[in-house]
C-alpha cells in the first residue's frame, strides 16, 4: 500500500499538472516553429542544403532588416535540377541581401532577394545565360504540419474544474480516473498475486492483464462518450471505477485472505 500511495502521488503530479503543462508548452513551441522560414534557419558562413537537396544556400553575414526581420547579406543560392521545373538547367543566384516574406493572404513563404545576379546553365555547356534583377523571390516549402492536440488536454486542471463544457468535464474526469486506477488496480492485484502451491507462478498474469485492459478501455470509451454528449457527465467515468472496485472486493473475499476472515468470523 505504501508503494501504491507513492505511485499515486507521482501520477497525480503528472496527470494534474506536468502532462497538461508539457502539452501546452509543446503547442506553443510548435506554433513558434511554424512561424519560422527557411531563412531563419540559415547560419552565416556555412553551406546548407534545404528541400531534400533542391537548394544549397550560403550567406556571409546575418543581420537585421529595416523592420527588425532577419536579413542575410552576400547571399549565394544554388538550385539543383531537383529543385527546378522539368527540363530547366541548374541555376545559381547571387544577391546582396535576402529576407523572409510571408504572403498575408495565402500564407505562402518566400525568400526575397535584392540586387540579384542569376546564372542559368549546365557547367561546361555553351548555353549559359546571365540575368540581372532588382529583386527576385524563391518560393519556400510550406511548414510541416503538426498533429493537432485537443485544446482541453492543454488546459490546466484548475481551468477544467467548474467548467460547463462537456469536453472539459470529460478531460477532468479522465485525469482524476488516472489517479483512481492505482488503488483500484492494487485492490485487484493483491488477491490475484496469490496462487495455490500447484498453480504456476504466472497462472493469473494473463487474466490480470485482461482485467487491466478492460478497465482502461472502458474508461477511454466513456470519456469519448462524455465529450461527444452521449453520456451524462454526472454518471461519467465513476460507474466504471465502481464496477472494478466491486470486482476487486469480490476477488479479495474469494481469495485466501477472504477465507481466513470468514473462518475467524465463524469462530
Q: Spell out the domain ranges in the chain.
A: 2-27+149-266, 38-140
| pLDDT score of 267 | 46
Mean pLDDT of all residues in the chain? 82
Picking from 58, 148, 141, 154, the residue whose alpha carbon sits closest to that of residue 98 is 58
d(CA 99, CA 133): 16
Closest to 89 (Cα-Cα) out of 128, 130, 49: 128
Quickly state the pLDDT bin for 261 (edges 50, 70, 90). Answer: very low
The Cα–Cα gap between 83 and 265 comes to: 84
- H or E element in which residue 8 lies: helix 2-13
Q: What mean pLDDT is predicted for residues 142-148? A: 63
Cβ–Cβ < 8 Å for 100, 70: yes
Prediction pTM value: 0.58
Residue 237 backbone dihedrals phi, psi, to 5 degrees: -90, -5
Please tell me the distance from the alpha carbon of residue 161 to that of residue 157, in angstroms, as a whole number: 6
Structure confidence by residue, pLDDT tens digits, 45-88: 999 888 777 889 999 999 877 666 788 999 999 987 655 555 67
Listed in sequence order, the residues at least 6 apart from 240 whose beta carbon sits closer than 8 Å to its beta carbon are: 177, 215, 218, 219, 222
Q: Which residue has the higher pLDDT, 24 or 174?
A: 174
177-206 pLDDT, tens digit each: 998 998 999 888 888 777 666 655 666 678
Closest C-alpha to 153, from 172, 125, 176: 172
* % pLDDT > 90, the chain: 30
Using pLDDT thresholds of 50, 70 and 90, give the confidence band for residue 129: confident
Q: What are phi and psi of 239, to 5 degrees?
A: -65, -30
- How far apart, in whole angstroms, are the C-alpha atoms of residue 265 and residue 183? 26
Does an H or E element contain 267, and which? none
Report CA 49 to chain centroid distance, whole Å. 27
Amino acid at each position: 500500500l505504501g508503494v501504491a500511495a507513492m505511485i499515486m502521488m507521482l501520477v497525480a503530479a503528472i496527470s494534474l499538472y506536468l502532462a497538461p503543462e508539457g502539452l501546452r508548452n509543446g503547442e506553443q513551441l510548435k506554433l513558434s516553429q511554424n512561424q519560422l522560414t527557411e531563412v531563419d534557419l540559415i547560419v552565416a558562413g556555412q553551406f546548407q542544403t534545404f528541400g531534400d537537396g533542391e537548394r544549397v544556400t550560403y550567406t556571409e553575414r546575418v543581420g537585421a532588416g529595416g523592420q527588425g526581420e532577419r536579413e542575410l547579406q552576400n547571399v549565394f543560392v544554388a538550385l539543383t535540377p531537383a529543385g527546378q521545373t522539368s527540363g530547366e538547367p541548374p541555376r545559381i543566384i547571387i544577391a546582396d541581401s535576402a529576407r523572409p516574406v510571408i504572403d498575408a493572404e495565402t500564407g505562402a513563404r518566400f525568400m526575397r532577394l535584392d540586387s540579384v545576379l542569376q546564372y542559368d546553365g549546365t557547367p561546361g555547356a555553351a548555353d549559359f545565360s546571365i540575368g540581372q534583377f532588382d529583386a527576385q523571390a524563391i518560393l519556400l516549402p510550406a511548414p510541416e504540419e503538426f498533429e493537432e492536440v485537443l485544446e482541453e488536454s492543454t488546459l490546466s486542471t484548475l481551468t477544467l474544474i467548474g467548467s460547463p463544457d462537456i469536453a472539459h468535464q470529460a478531460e477532468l474526469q479522465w485525469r482524476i480516473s488516472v489517479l483512481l486506477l492505482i488503488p483500484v488496480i492494487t485492490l485487484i492485484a493483491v488477491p490475484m498475486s496469490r496462487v495455490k502451491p500447484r498453480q504456476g507462478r504466472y497462472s493469473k498474469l494473463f487474466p490480470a492483464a485482461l482485467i487491466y485492459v478492460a478497465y482502461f478501455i472502458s474508461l477511454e470509451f466513456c470519456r469519448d462518450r462524455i465529450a461527444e454528449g452521449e453520456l451524462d457527465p454526472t454518471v461519467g467515468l465513476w460507474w466504471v471505477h465502481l464496477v472494478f472496485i466491486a470486482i476487486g472486493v469480490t476477488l479479495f473475499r474469494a481469495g485466501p485472505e477472504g477465507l481466513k476472515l470468514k473462518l475467524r468470523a465463524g469462530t
